[in-house]
């Protein structure tokens, strides 16, 4: 499957979303929904935590309540995500900073057309039917097609 769908963060307010315990897939989508879409700063006590796009700050107890999981299950899940190179969780006394690896893959700032691999290879045409931008296909690729 290719492409993407729009998914508003407000989905987390839906009764069906709140059903516990979460599945692994639901927890993954929840992590993406919680991630910052822009860099941000968070004041925690007298410290400032700087977060990049694709990161957010939370705690294990918060995720345990949110997902209806035990501490052991939350920790095991983050170990799995790390092995799969999907997300990392860096904990300290101020909580846990979660980083969604390849956040741009899931939340590109472009449009549906921008994320479609075939459309990235073919130059777009303006109203006159002429190609805009650089042509990325080589002559060999064109011959094959």
Q: Distances from the Cα of 102 to the Cαs of 19, 35, 74, 84, 132, in angstroms?
A: 28, 12, 21, 12, 28
Task: List pLDDT tens digits, range 112-128.
Answer: 454 444 444 444 444 44
Task: Please give the biggest Cα pair distance in the chain.
Answer: 63
Residue predicted with more confidence, 130 or 82? 82
Note whether 136 and 124 are within 8 A (CB): no
Task: List pLDDT tens digits, range 4-39.
Answer: 778 888 999 999 998 999 999 999 999 999 999 999
């Amino acid at each position: 499957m290719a492409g993407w769908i729009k998914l508003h963060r407000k989905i987390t307010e839906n009764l069906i979303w709140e059903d516990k315990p979460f599945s692994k897939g639901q927890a993954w989508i929840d992590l993406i929904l919680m991630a910052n879409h822009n860099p941000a700063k968070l004041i925690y006590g007298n410290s400032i935590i700087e977060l990049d796009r694709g990161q957010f700050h939370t705690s294990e107890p918060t995720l345990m309540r949110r997902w209806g999981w035990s501490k052991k299950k939350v920790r095991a899940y983050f170990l799995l995500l790390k092995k799969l190179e999907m997300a990392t969780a860096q904990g300290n006394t101020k909580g846990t900073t979660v980083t969604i690896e390849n956040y741009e893959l899931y939340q590109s700032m472009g449009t549906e057309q921008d994320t479609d691999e075939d459309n990235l290879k073919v130059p777009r045409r303006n109203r006159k039917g002429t190609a805009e931008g650089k042509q990325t296909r080589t002559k060999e690729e064109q011959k094959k097609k």
